[in-house]
Structure 1
Amino acid sequence: MMPDTEIANARFVPGTVHKRDIFSETISGTLEGVPGFPVVLRKLDGVPFYVRPIAWFLARKEIRGLRAVQGIDGTPVLVRVDKTGLLRSWTQGTPLQLAKPTDPAWYRDAKRLLRQMRRAGVTHNDIAKPQNWLMTPDGRAAVIDFQLASVHRRRGVLFRTMAREDLRHLLKQKRAYAPELLTASEHRMLATKALPARIWMATGKRLYNFITRRLMNWSDGEGTEDRISRDGPALIAALTADPRVTGVALHTYALPAKGVGLYAFVECDLPVAALRALAPEPRPELIQPVKSLPRTAEGAVREDALNLIATNRLDELEMLQADDPVLAAALRPIVAGRLNLTDRVLRR
């Protein structure tokens, strides 16, 4: 689907900031006068001048990749490109690390998506990250974030190798969330990295991590897993050491300035001041005591719902709980006391 003139020329109305890093700011919103077509802007006009060439290099890769996959179900629609950045359609769905699909149909559809991208000569090159895979509301597969995508004119060895790595990274997601579905041939593929991938992991990946994480204080993990994995274990241990704390859920959100904040939902009857006293440095930016964390019938914490609260995505939260009155009742006091309101205060 290519956007028509009305969509391509409509004014962008910003809504929620989802991510800020040194290379861009990602903001979802709507188009004025175009109902039912949510969009997302990768905003580049505010990046520091010293990384602007890299930011636009990545943006041009994304633009080229998006143009090549237009019409493939499960990929975003490129709306327009201007000096502000690039505007694409918003893909409704739950990130894989929250959806944790176990239905074989999702993995079949994900393979279909990779096949169609391969026929278009496109490799994604960044789907090892589960947040770049989505499960749509109807259970289909979708991919986002084409910043590292490649469009290949020739179907040579490099293309075949990169396409194979895309598939192998999908199988890694399958191994993480539905290992019982893996076939014998998929197990063999997982056990065998392509030679370029092995070379990259041994050399270039280490240099890349040093430059981005140490020198630039930036992570390619969407600002989520790195912050949680770095600060989370000590924080959870300190909070749950108090017998009055019966559960902790950690999520991240975009700060009003550059960076990522940590949001802690703590199941207890303690005041925030007491929880801050228990928390080690660096403390989370936001700590919300809740009487009860939302859970499934099996007792698992509803991380998907808490993630939407932490990032202030209330429109999606309404859809999530529309047909689940039990979940809606559990979330009502948490939503009423939510602490992240700043991600909707946008720089004009």
Structure 2
Amino acid sequence: MRAKFVPTTTHKRDEFSETVSGHLEGAPETKLVLRKLDGVPFWAKPIAGFLARKEVRSLRVVTGITGTPDLIRVDDEGILRSWSDGIPLNLAKPDDSAYYKDAKRILREMRRRNVTHNDLAKPQNWLMAPDGSAAVIDFQLASVHRRKGWLYRTMAYEDLRHLVKQKGRYAKGLLTASERRILKRKSLPTRIWMATGKRLYNGITRGVFNWSDGEGTGNRIAKEGADITADLMANDAVTGVRLSPFALPAKGMGIYAFVETGLDSDATRALIADTRVELIQPVTHLPREDIAELVAMNRLDELEFLLSKEPELRADTQPIVAARLNLTDRRLAGL
């Protein structure tokens, strides 16, 4: 009999899956991740099934590569894999050459197994582990190639180009001459995609599903954030606003507002309708953007890693963490 998966925190939801961290019953010390598929609406099942098959096939091949998830099991509930410890690249912003050297090592080992990731343009799919090494997650769009033909070479090149692009974003001074040339040379399929298919993709994902390219967090903040911030700042008692996305208990993504104010919780909640801002927390000092995102998403393990690197932020951050409002996705065993 298989051990039951015990969920603790929901990290992400969209129409095609739900990503939940937790552990197997009787083994709370081993953190795992479940991509839940049993709650997918009927109309999304064909796409969800296609993505799940791609992910399972890829995970089976990359299992064992240091820095990639290990596939644990697949059943009617979903895809269970090992937890990848670390924080996303857009929050870690590594500027150490050793990180990018290790990231290239992962790509080399994936190439040896004929696997391309195909979604490394998202910095959220790259992690920096506590020891400073690299990790890659989210293999939904990955491909396992039968031959190392033209398509494989093109996709492998794009994986490398996207890594170099991340390096240029966070450690531009470390770029080599060859890497600068890579940044200037997109593959032909990519140029065609950017000119044609990308527009259709954006129209569907942003218009129909209300997504952005920010790891499925939705683009509500992009659409409504400026107006929400302006309305909150119109109150004389408010001196600052920081907006972050978070997973709603039932479905979709909500907006979490950190408001710098002397007002209490009830008075701060009364500043704006909960249909516009689901959670609103008064703070003495606004948290930094990366800290706000981790608190809003209830990702306390990653937050602890960040604070261990920058302990001077801990004193201002601890009261915010203690008063955080996103506890709805934290389902504890026995409660």
* TM-score, normalisation: structure 1: 0.87
Q: 1:34 aligns with which of 27, 31, 37?
A: 27
Deviations 1:279-332 (A, max 9, x none): 6997321111101234xxxxxx2x343333212234554555468764333223
Aligned partner letter, 2:324: R
Q: 1:221 aligns with which of 214, 224, 228?
A: 214
* Residue number in structure 2 paired with 1:190: 183
Contact 2:23–2:30 (CA<8 Å) still a contact in 1? yes
C-alpha distance in structure 1 between counterparts of 2:28 and 2:3, whole Å: 11
- How far apart are 1:344 and its partner, in Å? 1.9
Contact 1:79–1:89 (CA<8 Å) still a contact in 2? yes
Alpha-carbon distance change, 280 to 171 in structure 1, aligned in 2, over 3 angstroms: farther
Q: Secondary structure at the match of 2:219?
A: helix
Does residue 1:168 correspond to 2:164, yes or no?
Answer: no
Q: Secondary structure at the match of 1:343?
A: coil
Contact 1:67–1:78 (CA<8 Å) still a contact in 2? yes
Unaligned runs of 5+ in 1: 1-5, 295-300
Deviations 1:166-206 (A, max 9, x none): 11111121122121222222122111211001111222222
Does residue 1:88 correspond to 2:81, yes or no?
Answer: yes
TM-align CA RMSD: 2.6
Aligned partner letter, 2:157: R
C-alpha distance in structure 2 between counterparts of 1:172 and 1:229, whole Å: 23
Identity %: 66
* Residue number in structure 2 paired with 1:298: none
Deviations 1:117-144 (A, max 9, x none): 1111111000101111111111111110
Aligned partner letter, 1:331: T
- How far apart are 1:256 and its partner, in Å? 0.8
Q: Secondary structure at the match of 1:176?
A: helix
Q: Secondary structure at the match of 1:267?
A: strand
Q: Secondary structure at the match of 2:73?
A: strand
* Residue number in structure 1 paired with 2:248: 255
Q: 1:340 aligns with which of 321, 326, 329?
A: 326
Does residue 1:149 correspond to 2:149, yes or no?
Answer: no
C-alpha distance in structure 2 between counterparts of 1:323 and 1:133, whole Å: 18
Alpha-carbon distance change, 13 to 237 in structure 1, aligned in 2, over 3 angstroms: same
C-alpha distance in structure 2 between counterparts of 1:194 and 1:318, whole Å: 39
Aligned residues: 333
Contact 2:211–2:218 (CA<8 Å) still a contact in 1? no
Does residue 1:139 correspond to 2:138, yes or no?
Answer: no
Aligned partner letter, 1:311: M
* Residue number in structure 1 paired with 2:69: 76
After superposition, where does 1:96-111 map in structure 2 within 5 Å?
96-111=89-104
- How far apart are 1:212 and its partner, in Å? 2.9
After superposition, where does 1:206-245 map in structure 2 within 5 Å?
206-219=199-212, 221-224=214-217, 226-240=219-233, 244-245=237-238
- How far apart are 1:264 and its partner, in Å? 1.4
C-alpha distance in structure 2 between counterparts of 1:88 and 1:15, whole Å: 15
Contact 1:239–1:275 (CA<8 Å) still a contact in 2? no
Alpha-carbon distance change, 230 to 217 in structure 1, aligned in 2, over 3 angstroms: closer
C-alpha distance in structure 1 between counterparts of 2:87 and 2:301, whole Å: 13
Deviations 1:234-262 (A, max 9, x none): 43444446665443322211101111011
* TM-score, normalisation: structure 2: 0.90
Does residue 1:329 correspond to 2:315, yes or no?
Answer: yes
Unaligned runs of 5+ in 2: none
* Residue number in structure 2 paired with 1:204: 197
After superposition, where does 1:314-325 map in structure 2 within 5 Å?
314-318=300-304, 320-321=306-307
Alpha-carbon distance change, 229 to 213 in structure 1, aligned in 2, over 3 angstroms: closer
Moved more, 191-200 or 218-227: 218-227
Moved more, 322-331 or 128-137: 322-331
- How far apart are 1:227 and its partner, in Å? 3.3
After superposition, where does 1:247-326 map in structure 2 within 5 Å?
247-271=240-264, 283-294=276-287, 301=288, 303-318=289-304, 320-321=306-307, 326=312
- How far apart are 1:335 and its partner, in Å? 2.0
C-alpha distance in structure 2 between counterparts of 1:242 and 1:250, whole Å: 17
Contact 1:10–1:34 (CA<8 Å) still a contact in 2? no
